[in-house]
Amino acid sequence: MSATLINDVKTEFINTFKTEPILVFSPGRINIIGEHTDYNDGFVFPAAVDKGIAAAIQKTDSDVSTAYALDMDSKIEFNLNTLKPSKEGSWENYVFGVVAEIQNKNKVIGNFNIVFKGDIPSGSGMSSSAALENSVVFGLNELFGLGLSKEDMIFISQKAEHNYVGVKCGIMDQYASMFGIKNNALLLDCRSIEAKPYEIDFKDHQLMLINTNVKHSLSDSAYNDRRSVCENISELLDIKALRDATEVDLQKIANKITPENYQKALFVIQENKRALKASKAIEDNNLETLGSLIYASHNGLQHQYKVSCDELDFLVGLAKTNKHVLGARMMGGGFGGCTINLIAKTEAKSFADFASDEYKNRFDKACSVYFIELSQGTHLVE
Ligand code: GLA
C-alpha cells in the first residue's frame, strides 16, 4: 500500500471539506489461474496486491454528497434520493451503484464526501473497479454503522457492477480485494464463497506482470456474451452452473449447440479442473506443473474461450521462447490488460527488458512491467 496515495487523499479531503476523514485502502488483485470460472460457480485462485484505491471519506451535514476522483481531477455532487446510473463508462457509476445497492438492502445512509485515488493502471485487468466499490462500501459501513459483514459488502459491490456499470461480473475480484491475506493466494470456491489460503513462496521463482497497455473496447459486451453462453448451456444440461458439468455431459448435447459454444463450455470445465490441479501443484511445490497449467489456461482462453488479443498472445509467445518462464497467460476478463508470468527470479529483469523491446518493435507502443506483493484486503488505515 502506498503511503503517498493515503496522504494525497487525506490532504485533499481536509483542504476541500475542512474536516478529518476516515481512510480506507482497498487493493486490486491478480489471479494465478481459474479465469472465467467464477460466474460458473467454479474455482479461482486470486490474491490481493499492494496496488489499489485509497479513499478518504466522512459524513457531511450538507444536503448533497460529493465524490472526487483525484486521479482524474473530476468531482461530482449527487443526491442520495434520486440516484440513477450515469452514462456508460463514467467512474461515478461505481460510487452511485454501491450507494444504491446499500439502499436496496434497506440500509439507511446520510450524505457523505469521498476523495479517492488509485495506483492500479486502468484497463490492466487488476480490478481497480472492485477496489473502488469495496472502498466505498467499506467506508460507508464504518461511518454509518450499517452492520454489514464483509460477505454482504462484496455482494453489494458486485451488484453495483451488474446494475450500474453493466458488467455481469462474477465474485472473484470483489472477494480477493476484500478478503486478501498478506503473502497468500486464495483458492476460492465461488459457489460456497469459501476460500483456502495458500502461502505463496515460489523460492527462486516469482510472479511478474506485463501490461499490454491496451484495452480493446468490446470487452464488456463480450464478457456478458460469454456469461450468457455459459448460462444457456447450463440450462440445456439442466444444471445450476457449468461447475456441475463433465466433458462427457457436454458431449451428449454437442449436436444442440454450435461448435464455438461447445469449445467455450469445454474451456470452462477444463479451466475449473486446472485451478484445482494448480492448488495441488502449489502444495507439492511443483512449479513445472503449475507453469504448464498456466500455459494451458492461456491456450484455452485464446483458442476456445476467445477472450485474448494479439498483444497478449504475443507476450505469452515470447515467454514460451524462454525456458526460465515456467508459465504465462492473460489475466482477468481479457481483450487487453496484463499477462501473469511465473519466472526465475534471476531472469526476471532480463526477460522484462527483452519483452519490452520486442513489444515496442511489434506494436510501436510500450508495455509495462510490475513486480507485485501479495497483500492484505480492504482495511481501515489508522
Ligand atoms: C473479470 C470479472 C471477474 C472474472 C474475470 C475472469 O475480472 O470481474 O468476475 O470473471 O473477469 O476470470
Helix (H, G, I), strand (E, B) or coil at 194: strand
In ligand 1, the atom with minimum distance to the C-alpha of 170 is 9
Ligand 1 pocket, residues with Cβ under 6 angstroms: 35-36, 38-39, 127, 169-170, 172-173, 332-333
* pLDDT (0 to 100) of residue 217: 73
Of the CA atoms within 13 Å of residue 260, those in its CB half-sphere come to 6
Say what the pTM is: 0.97
Helices in the chain by DSSP H: which ranges?
A: 3-17, 92-104, 128-143, 150-160, 172-179, 219-237, 247-252, 259-283, 287-303, 310-320, 345-363
- Name residue 362's amino acid: R
Domain coordinates of the chain in residue numbers?
3-199+376-381, 205-371
Q: Whose CA is nearest to atom 2 of ligand 1?
A: 169
In 56-94, which positions are buried (b, 16+ CB within 10 angstroms) versus exposed (e)? bbbbeeeeebbbbbbeeeeebebebeebebbeeebbbbb
* pLDDT (0 to 100) of residue 289: 98
* pLDDT (0 to 100) of residue 156: 98
Listed range (85-99, 214-228, 282-296) with the worst mean pLDDT? 214-228
pLDDT single digits (tens) 3-35:
999 999 999 999 999 999 999 999 999 999 999
In sequence order, which residues have a C-beta less than 8 Å from that of residue 281 and are 6 or more positions away?
Answer: 287, 289, 290, 293
Domain 205-371 belongs to what topology?
Answer: Alpha-Beta Plaits (3.30.70)
pLDDT single digits (tens) 68-87:
999 999 999 999 999 999 99
Ligand 1: centre distance to CA 169 (Å) = 6
pLDDT > 90? residue 349: yes
Mean pLDDT, rounded, for 284-309: 98
Ligand 1: centre distance to CA 37 (Å) = 8
pLDDT > 90? residue 89: no
Catalytic residues: 173
Ligand 1: centre distance to CA 61 (Å) = 38
Q: Whose CA is nearest to atom 11 of ligand 1?
A: 333
pLDDT single digits (tens) 93-116:
999 999 999 999 999 999 999 999
pLDDT > 80? residue 316: yes
Mean pLDDT, rounded, for 347-375: 98
Pick from 28, 32, 29: nearest CA to 275:
32
Mean pLDDT, rounded, for 35-39: 98
pLDDT single digits (tens) 237-281:
999 999 999 999 999 999 999 999 999 999 999 999 999 999 999
CATH 3.40.50.80 fits domain 3-199+376-381: no
